[in-house]
A and B are shown apart, each in its own frame.
Chain A
Amino acid sequence: MSVAVSSKNKGNYVPSKIKESTSYKVFKVFNAILLTIICIATLYPFLYLVAQSFSSESAIIKGQVSIFPVDFNIVTYKSVFAKGDFQRYYLNTVIYAVIGTIGSLFTSSILAYPLSKPHLRLNKFFGPFIIFTMYFGGGMIPNYVLINKLGIRNTMAAFILPGLIGTYYVLLMRSFFANVPTELEEAGEIDGLSKFGVFFKIVLPLSKPIMATMTLFYMSGYWSNWFTAFLYLDDREKWPVAYYLRQIIIGTSTSANPGAANAETMQIAANIKSCCMVLMAVPIICVYPFIQKYFVQGMMLGGVKE
């Protein structure tokens, strides 16, 4: 890592290495401007949603809202919270995300751990066995038929099981586990731990970066998932909030009279939509920066190669 020249000794600037060429200075300015524009463009849609959710409906219809709320009010939030069904969907999402993530972390790690042991001879079979599913699989319909046949349609299992183990995530975990020093595992065994004990008491605690990364990946996956619910959860009581959002954003097209459906869709005001979107995005936005520091460690060791 090169020595960083901090801005405070700008006065007597000592060039640490070679002098910066003019073209490089021009490049630096250009780079800073470009990256700032990218940041603004990335954040703007979020700001717009937040502004809308705090604005009055008439201001939105007139197209007056751009970055700041117009006619600031929290009526929309109050009305959304007052509606029992929104709370119900939100609670469902939390339940699905927590149970699903725990299940995913457990099954993925107990799969990745043995796969990371080169001396296990059957890995020659099991490795390709799981990797192949990344490149080829049953399409949408065979999966749909399977879930219906298993009789788990309209249950939490139908929402969680199809995406329980992500093969790519397993491979990332495998590379991470492979780098845990075997000496530590052996020491644990000498101290009387069983193989299970070694995994749960030594390997897992040493794998905090990858486990944190996987928690975020799996959890945001369950949090965001609307399509599985769309396919398998008919009962409104069981909907996650993502599916409810889909219904209010797209509008239900199942109505016998398309005109009526359109009118119904129109009635869901933009500020209610954005309010629900903000409420759904907030947990992810809050949790993610804390886990971000683990990404690089988690992803770097994994690399891209299988």
Chain B
Amino acid sequence: MKKEQTLKSKKAKQEPLLRHIKRNWHLYAFLVIPIVYYVIFRYIPMFGNIIAFRKYRAGSSIFGDEWSGLKYFKQFMADQSFWRAFKNTLFLNVSYLLIRFPATLIFALLLNEIRCLPWKKFVQTVSYLPHFISMVIVAGMVKELLSTNGPINSLLAAMGKDTIPFISIPEWFPTIFVGSGIWQGLGWGTILYLAAIAGISPSLYEAATVDGANRFKRVWHITLPCILPTITTLLILDIGGLVGSGGAFEKVFLLYNPMTYETSDIVSTYVYRMGVGSGNYSYATAVGLFEGIINLALLMTANIISRKTTESGLW
């Protein structure tokens, strides 16, 4: 039976492509609609990036009218607001990553130490919840909590301090950004770690217990090394997003205002204002493309480094 199967698979390999498709046409038929979707809604916009190098006027072809070379790239490189947005994107993302990454890992380890299952499930349910809440509501909550008559300012007033209009002070924006991000993402960030921890063979822990390792040692010598591939993969993905907007766009767009642009304007909000807002499509596309390429480069670099050092990577 087994021999027959290997023989069959060998034959399948030699089979001409057309016959292979014919024999499996049912399965390939499934792919038709999704692949057409990917071509139209993913690949056409990807090639639509070409308008960064071509002049696009309202009403012209989706791929622009005539070549303009690197004109738009030179333009934004010379623009102070672009560099401010670039710097802000990097600063917000790096500070968020530096706080969130260790926080989620520690939170996952702490969750894993809970022995009382209903309590564990309760903490998980509560902490995952904000992930599913619309950014509009998160932004609304932030504004309500931080408003001049909100609870935080009431607390400040009760302590005899001056109230602070947090939302309109540039210095506060990074704190608000990171804080609300942690509030929303801390619990959800643990889910992949917990899945990885659940996959660790219990015999490893038993052996370590027999050898006299206490709980802290077991976490340090078993749990952490076993979930290292997960940690690296997530870190690579995060590094790949350092210059990108990812989920940051919506939040910044909802919470920023001209008073705080100095610290809050990021590349994608800048792209929005330049493109959709003022109709400079080619210029905005050039900025967006620049961001996308840097992200891809960062992701690839992080992947190579990780492959070399920990032998695990995305591909």
Q: Contacting chain B: which of A72-80, A84-92, A116-124?
A: A116-124
Q: Do the beta carbons of A142 and B51 come within 8 Å of each other?
A: yes
Q: Do the beta carbons of A199 and B130 come within 8 Å of each other?
A: no
* Chain A residues bordering chain B, tally (CB within 8 A): 97
Q: Which residue of A lies closest to B253 (CB)?
A: A227
Q: Do the beta carbons of A141 and B33 come within 8 Å of each other?
A: no
What distance in Å separates the Cβ of A273 from its nearest Cβ neighbour in chain B? 6
**A270 CA / B30 CA spacing, docked (Å):** 50
With beta carbons under 8 angstroms apart, the residue of A110, A137, A225, A273 that contacts B34 is: A110
A126 located at the interface, meaning its Cβ lies under 8 Å from any Cβ of chain B in the complex: yes
B168 located at the interface, meaning its Cβ lies under 8 Å from any Cβ of chain A in the complex: no
Question: What are the 6 tightest A-B residue pairs by CB atom distance, in nearest-first order?
Answer: A138-B45, A139-B288, A142-B48, A224-B134, A195-B26, A111-B34
**A274 CA / B214 CA spacing, docked (Å):** 49
Q: Do the beta carbons of A295 and B51 come within 8 Å of each other?
A: no
Contact with B along A12-50 (1 / 0, CB 8 A): 000001100101100110010011001101110100110
Q: Which residue of B lies closest to A59 (CB)?
A: B149
B228 located at the interface, meaning its Cβ lies under 8 Å from any Cβ of chain A in the complex: no
Q: Which residue of A lies closest to B157 (CB)?
A: A63
- 11 pairs across A/B with beta carbons < 8 Å? A34-B110, A42-B183, A135-B299, A137-B45, A141-B51, A141-B271, A199-B30, A224-B132, A231-B276, A280-B136, A288-B132
Contact with A along B32-59 (1 / 0, CB 8 A): 0111011011111111110100001000
Q: Which residue of A lies closest to B186 (CB)?
A: A38
A306 located at the interface, meaning its Cβ lies under 8 Å from any Cβ of chain B in the complex: yes
Q: Which residue of B lies closest to A131 (CB)?
A: B315
Q: Do the beta carbons of A162 and B268 come within 8 Å of each other?
A: no
**A145 CA / B47 CA spacing, docked (Å):** 12
B94 located at the interface, meaning its Cβ lies under 8 Å from any Cβ of chain A in the complex: no
Known pairs A31-B114, A63-B149; A21 contacts B214 (CB<8 A): yes
Report chain B residues within 8 Å CB of A136: 46, 292-293, 295-296
A140 located at the interface, meaning its Cβ lies under 8 Å from any Cβ of chain B in the complex: yes
What distance in Å separates the Cβ of B104 from its nearest Cβ neighbour in chain A? 12
Report chain A residues within 8 Å CB of B144: 48-49, 52, 270, 273-274
Contact with A along B194-212 (1 / 0, CB 8 A): 1110110010000001000
**A151 CA / B37 CA spacing, docked (Å):** 16
Within 8 A of B (CB), among A268-306: 270, 273-274, 277, 280-281, 284-285, 288-289, 292, 295-296, 299-300, 303-306
